[in-house]
Structure 1
Amino acid sequence: MRKCTKWPSLGWAAGAMLLALPFTMLAQKSEPADFYPAISLGLSTGAPAYLGADATLSFFRPLAFRIGYYRAKFNSRQFSQDLSDYQDGQELDLDAGADLSTIGLLADLPIVRGRWLRIVGGAMINLDNHVTVSGRFAEGIPYNDYTISPEQAGSVTTTYTTSRVFPYLAIGLGRAVPQKRFGLSLEAGGMLRGKPEIAVASTGLLEGNEANGPVLSENFSNVRFQPSVNLRLAMRLDLPAPDPAAARQQEEDAQELAEEQESVQPSQQETTPNAAVDSSPEEAPEAAEEAPPEPETQEAEAQEPPKRRKNQKRNKPAAEPETEAEETKIAQPASPVNMVRLQGTAVDAQSGSTLQAVYLDLYLVAADGSKRLERTGRYPGGTFTLGLLPGKTYELTLIEGGYQPLTKTILVEAAPEAALIEQTFSLQQNP
């Protein structure tokens, strides 16, 4: 019974990655809890593939998945092989060629802190998979008083193929998804190919050597391991991180607008009866003269932000509607320019150089110590600008791969005019 060698060997790669999981879990404990998805596009070169292109997707911890295409094709014609040890003065002219096209479905599993050392495993799928060698005598072969020409002697062509799917296992140095915009990595490992299938075709006087194909296949049945070394250049592409603060703010604005529309009609109905009670018959003409400015008051209120109008209507005394309307026109809401702008830069604490990117979480700290997430996201270039309300306390956390998280408490002093704060935040590298 013929033994199947195509699929069982794939378990070797899976088994090696499972053995590495405990080391991966230990490495993850020392990294920040926040995770942001990213993609890297890579170009690789090495052996056996001369050139390759891939895309690595990091959607969740700890694995990163990669799909790539690798190509190796060459032809070498008319190189000679000396056969003096077998026949005096004889040489062979050889032609050799290889056509290897492979699709790789791989997974990267980091096993140390910082993700610079990882295990790479998966499956390789052959699209083209054959190596061909053809040989013929370079000169005529003397036979007694007769010389056999190379054309009469003929040629022998040998073709080598293996299974279509086989496992791949390697050790990678360098991150699969670089920490900065570009990164280099090195992979060294190998592929476990299936049992080789060698076919022989011959012509001329050498015809009849086809029967040697199965014999050669059996002789090379244990030659299955193919080493692989690749150098990879990768470019990182960040995916947009979710912003829960923005979604929550939109929901609150919609709710405030709905409440404000519901309170418009009751407020108008309360104003007219109270004015009639406070005014006597003799004062009726005065009340009639003062009545027209009410549309202006309503127009002034309509220009105010919904949240401020809602608070004024809840605290509005019923007996003095006109006085309150005058105060509302005078007490304008705080202008957006009175917000304090924090312009921050994240730098390396050792070198002082600006980081390529930084993740941040900004929390608003209430008087009771509770926190509310105001902003989160990744800022390429390591610089960011935040709008802060005067008199409030914030907590800012900066995170970047390879560095220790940095948390700062920011107390914003009241500023009657526009203010700009420029501050540098130094992040320590992981030990």
Structure 2
Amino acid sequence: MKLFRCTLILSLILVFQQLRAQNDSSFVSLLNKKSVQLNVGTQGIGAEFIYGVLPELVVRGGLNFIPIKANDVFKISGFNSTSNVAADFYNIHAFADYVPFKNAAWFRMVGGFSYFFKAKGNLRVIPSDDYKYGDLVLTEDQIGYVDLSVDWKGLAPYLGVAFAHTFPRKKFNINVDVGTHYLSKPQVKIVGTGLLEGNSSQTSQLQNNIKDYRWLPTVQINFNFKL
């Protein structure tokens, strides 16, 4: 995570340096130009192919994926336990970039759609030792565990802006995307085992509590190579 933050900060500095160096504000047609770009950001890592269909409009298609796994991210007061967290977001997408101001070709408006064929978060809470209740001692297996999963799989519209030129003036440049996806309505599932089996009844309540958690902000650094 620290490496990712350093990469993000360094990339943003390079982009702003590029913008300051681009004193020539004349518009250059995007028609029939091509490039590929590798990206890293809040969507994970990915790649895109870009093609200019009009002098001020390009289309791009690509994919991104971000698998995350972490252990013991939080503790439950009064209950010794371990927790395992996993998040898997995989998408393919098609975007269109439009240059609205020919004297500011470094600014683009972006819109399109992504299909998340995997967009799931999972949390498992497992007791880490026996539990004493009076004279009764319950083993870890008797206590059981709780699995909580949330799934946003499906089609998601995207809207955002991009900074720095779409295509490199020479062979390579760096540009930035900032925007948000509007995800499908989340589907929640809670499964408990052993004495924690009763937690499964909380599924509908949690589903209602997070039904509006559908915005997925995106900040993406693109490393662009002209073909």
**Conservation of the 8 A alpha-carbon contact between 1:58 and 1:177:** no
Mapped to 2, the partners of 1:215 and 1:195 lie a distance apart of 15
Q: Which residue of 2 aligns with 1:126?
A: 116
Mapped to 2, the partners of 1:234 and 1:99 lie a distance apart of 26
**Conservation of the 8 A alpha-carbon contact between 1:102 and 1:125:** yes
Could you list the per-position Cα deviations for residues 306-326 of structure 1 after superposition, in whole angstroms to 9, with x for gaps in the alignment?
A: xxxxxxxxxxxxxxxxxxxxx
Question: Partner of 1:217: helix, strand, or coil?
Answer: helix
Mapped to 2, the partners of 1:142 and 1:218 lie a distance apart of 34
Q: Post-superposition shift, 1:35?
A: 6.3
**Conservation of the 8 A alpha-carbon contact between 2:117 and 2:153:** no
Mapped to 2, the partners of 1:124 and 1:153 lie a distance apart of 41
Q: Which residue of 2 aligns with 1:58?
A: 52
Q: Post-superposition shift, 1:217?
A: 1.0
Aligned pair partner of 1:140 in 110, 130, 135: 130
Q: Which residue of 2 aligns with 1:174?
A: 164
Could you list the per-position Cα deviations for residues 76-100 of structure 1 after superposition, in whole angstroms to 9, with x for gaps in the alignment?
A: 23x163333xx3xx23210111121
TM-score normalised according to structure 2 size: 0.82
Could you list the per-position Cα deviations for residues 11-68 of structure 1 after superposition, in whole angstroms to 9, with x for gaps in the alignment?
A: xxxxxxxxxxxxxxxxxxx646x76521010000010x22110001103222100001
- Confirm or deny that 1:97 pairs with 2:86: yes
**Conservation of the 8 A alpha-carbon contact between 2:36 and 2:50:** yes
Q: Which residue of 2 aligns with 1:46?
A: 41
**Conservation of the 8 A alpha-carbon contact between 1:37 and 1:59:** yes
Question: Partner of 1:208: helix, strand, or coil?
Answer: helix
Structure of higher CA gyration radius: 1
Give the counterpart letter for 1:92 in structure 2: S
Give the counterpart letter for 1:81 in structure 2: F
- Confirm or deny that 1:156 pairs with 2:146: yes
Aligned in 2, Cα 1:141/1:43: closer, same or farther, shift over 3 Å? same
Aligned in 2, Cα 1:40/1:122: closer, same or farther, shift over 3 Å? same
- Confirm or deny that 1:37 pairs with 2:26: no
Q: Which residue of 1 aligns with 2:99?
A: 110
Query: Which residues of structure 1 form unaligned runs of 5+?
Result: 1-29, 238-431
Aligned in 2, Cα 1:35/1:82: closer, same or farther, shift over 3 Å? closer
Greater share of helix: 1
Q: Which residue of 2 aligns with 1:71?
A: 65
Cα root mean square deviation, aligned: 1.7
Could you list the per-position Cα deviations for residues 132-190 of structure 1 after superposition, in whole angstroms to 9, with x for gaps in the alignment?
A: 11111222221011221222100010111114001111111112222221110011111
**Conservation of the 8 A alpha-carbon contact between 2:123 and 2:148:** yes
Q: Post-superposition shift, 1:213?
A: 1.5
Aligned in 2, Cα 1:162/1:80: closer, same or farther, shift over 3 Å? closer
Mapped to 2, the partners of 1:35 and 1:191 lie a distance apart of 26
Greater share of strand: 2
Mapped to 1, the partners of 2:110 and 2:221 lie a distance apart of 14
Q: Which residue of 1 aligns with 2:23?
A: none
Query: Which residues of structure 2 form unaligned runs of 5+?
Result: 1-25
Percent identity reads 23
Which aligned pairs between 1:312-327 and structure 2 lie closer than 5 A? none
| Greater RCO structure (CA 8 Å; 6+ sep) | 2
Q: Which residue of 2 aligns with 1:293?
A: none
Aligned pair partner of 2:187 in 191, 197, 205: 197
Aligned pair partner of 1:215 in 200, 205, 210: 205
Which aligned pairs between 1:290-369 and structure 2 lie closer than 5 A? none
- Confirm or deny that 1:83 pairs with 2:76: yes
**Conservation of the 8 A alpha-carbon contact between 1:80 and 1:91:** no
Mapped to 1, the partners of 2:95 and 2:54 lie a distance apart of 15
Mapped to 1, the partners of 2:118 and 2:39 lie a distance apart of 19
Aligned in 2, Cα 1:105/1:35: closer, same or farther, shift over 3 Å? closer
Aligned pair partner of 1:183 in 173, 177, 199: 173
Give the counterpart letter for 2:192 in structure 1: S
**Conservation of the 8 A alpha-carbon contact between 2:110 and 2:160:** yes
Could you list the per-position Cα deviations for residues 340-364 of structure 1 after superposition, in whole angstroms to 9, with x for gaps in the alignment?
A: xxxxxxxxxxxxxxxxxxxxxxxxx
Q: State how many pairs are aligned.
A: 201
